[in-house]
Amino acid sequence: MQIVIVGAGTVGFELAVQLRRVGHEIALVEQSDERCEEISERLDVLVVQGHGSSPRVLEHANIHDAEMVLAVTSMDEVNILVCGIAAQFNVPSRIARIRSSEFRDPSASVKLEGLGVTQVIDPEQIMVRVIEQIARIPEAIEVFSYHAGQIIIARHKLREGMPVLGRRLADLLHEAGNDQFLAVALGREEGRTFIPAGDDVLVAGDDVTTIFPRHSLPKYLDLLDLTGKIIRKAVVAGDGLTAVQLCKQLSGWVEDVTLVSNNNDHAHAAADQLDRVEVIHGDPTDREVLHEVNVATTDLFVGAGRETTPNVMSALLARSEGANRVIAVSYEPKSNRLFREIGVDHVLSPRRAMAQEIMDIIHRGRRSVELQLRDMDLESVELVAGNKSKITAAPLQKVWMPYKRQAIVGALIRDGQVSIPRGNTEVQAGDELIVVVKPKHIHKIQSLFKER
C-alpha cells in the first residue's frame, strides 16, 4: 500500500518504521530540514521537506498514488487541512490526529467527515484506555489489547497461594469452559523464556503471559486469586486533558478518585467538569501534598501530566509513601526502561500507544506485527488466513505440529467473534489469528497464511 505520513515527530517516525517493516511504500512529509536529513539516514523511505498542508509538497510525496494519508502533526488544523487536500486527490483513507474536543464532540456543528477526515485518532482517549486497562487487572506486569479491547493479553508473575500453581496448562484450558484463556509465553526464574505446551506445569515464580477474550477477565482474575483486589482509591496527578479524562473514566467504577494539579486554572476547570472527583491544587512532587490526599492508602497512583519528570518523580514519591501501584506517562521512550528499574510499575508512552492504535486500524484484517513482549524474545503478530492457505488445510493440531515451541495461536477472530482455538479447530479463509512467535521463525509462520 502507498501511504503518505505528514509529520515526522515520534509518532510519524514510529509509524514509518512499522509500516515499512511490513512492506508498505512510505512517503514522509516533514517541515524541519534537520529532521528530514536525520530520517533519510535512518529509513529507506521517500522523505519530502515542506509544509504538509501544501498541495505542491503533497504532490512531491506522490499523494495522487496514495491509498492512505496519516496526518499526525501536533496541530489539529494542519491535520484536518491535509485530509481535506487528500480527499481532493481521491485518497480513500484519511486519518487525522485530533486533540480538540471541539471537533470530536458528537454534537459539534462542524463535522470532520465534511472536512475530509475519514478516521479520527484522539491521543488522550487512547492513553485513558491504556491506563484503565492496566488498572482493571491487578498485579499485571504488562497489559495489551487487540480489536478495541475485545482480546486482552496480560502478563503476571505467579506467587505462592495462587490456585493455578501445580496445574497443567491443558487442564486449565479444559476446565475453563466458556471462560477461555491460553498461556502463550512462559518465563522461568533461571532466565529461560519459551512458548508453553499443554503439559507444562505452573510453579511459583513463573512469568506467564496469557491471552483471553474480554468476557473471560473475571475468571482469569479468579484463577490468580486477584478478584478481591479491585481499586477502591485512585490518585491522578496531572495538569492536562489526559488527567481530567482519566479521572472521569475512573470515577465510573472506582469509589474514591482524587485529581492533583499544580496549575490553579486547570484545577478549577477540572473541578467544574468532574462530579465525583476531589480536585486539589498542589504540587504532586511535594510530600506534604501527597500526605494531604492520603497517598499511603492509595491502590493506584498515576502521574499523567504533560511533562515526564514530574510524572515519574510523583509516581516514585507516591510509591515511597506506600501507594500500592504506580503508573507514569513518559514522553521520553529511551528512558522508560530506567524508570521501570527504579520503581515505577508501568511507564507508558503516549506516542507509542497512538502509533499502535493507528497500526491496528490500518492492519485490521491484514498482517501486522503489533507488539514485542518486554524482556522476552517474542512478538505478537496478527495474521489473516488466505484462500487455500496451508493453515486451512487441516485441523490446527496437525498443521501446527512442526512449529510447536516456535509459535502459538492465541486467539481466533471469525465474523467479529473471538475464541481461543483448540487442537481440533479448523481455520477458515478470512479468519484472523493472533500468534505469539519467536522473531527468527516469523517468516515460516507467515508462509502458512499465504493464499495459494
Q: What is the pLDDT of residues 89-104, one digit of tens each?
A: 999 999 999 888 777 7
User: What average pLDDT does the chain have?
Assistant: 89
Q: In the CATH hierarchy, which fold is given to the domain comprising 354-448?
A: Alpha-Beta Plaits (3.30.70)
The residue among 70, 51, 68 whose CA lies nearest residue 60 is 51
Q: In the CATH hierarchy, which fold is given to the domain comprising 2-121?
A: Rossmann fold (3.40.50)
Radius of gyration in angstroms for the set of CA atoms belonging to the chain, rounded to a whole number: 23
In the chain, domain spans? 2-121, 142-223, 233-352, 354-448
Q: In the CATH hierarchy, which fold is given to the domain comprising 142-223?
A: Alpha-Beta Plaits (3.30.70)
DSSP H or E stretch at residue 133: helix 123-135
- What is the grid cell recorded at 354? 497512538
- What is the grid cell recorded at 266? 486547570
Beta-carbon contacts of 383 under 8 Å, excluding residues fewer than 6 positions away, are 367, 432, 433, 435, 445, 446, 449
Scanning the structure block, which residue is given the C-alpha cell 506445569?
Answer: 201
The pLDDT score that the predictor gives to residue 369 is: 37
Residues in the chain: 452
User: What whole-number distance in Å separates Cα of residue 98 and Cα of residue 52?
Assistant: 15
In Å, how far from its chain's centre is CA 437? 18
More confident residue, 44 or 368: 44
Examine domains 2-121 and 142-223 and report if their fold is the same.
Answer: no
The band of 364, judged by pLDDT with boundaries at 50, 70 and 90, is low
Q: What is the pLDDT of residues 121-177, one digit of tens each?
A: 888 888 998 899 899 999 998 888 877 778 899 999 999 999 999 999 988 887 776
Percent of the chain with pLDDT over 70: 95
Give CATH for domain 233-352.
3.40.50.720
The pLDDT score that the predictor gives to residue 370 is: 42
What average pLDDT does this structure show over 429-441?
Answer: 89
What average pLDDT does this structure show over 271-296?
Answer: 96
More confident residue, 146 or 2: 2
More confident residue, 430 or 357: 430
- Per-residue burial over 225-234, b = 16 or more CB atoms within 10 Å of its CB, e = otherwise: bbeeeebebb
What average pLDDT does this structure show over 236-253?
Answer: 95
**Structural contact between residues 431 and 384, judged by C-beta atoms closer than 8 angstroms:** yes
The residue among 219, 181, 224 whose CA lies nearest residue 206 is 224
Asked whether residue 184 carries a pLDDT value surpassing 80, the answer given is yes
Task: Give, in order, the Cα–Cα distances in Å from 232 to each of 1, 254, 257, 271, 349.
Answer: 47, 5, 8, 20, 26
- Whether pTM > 0.75 for this model: the answer is yes
- The C-alpha angle with vertex 167 and arms to 164 and 171, in degrees rounded to 5, equals 105
The band of 194, judged by pLDDT with boundaries at 50, 70 and 90, is confident
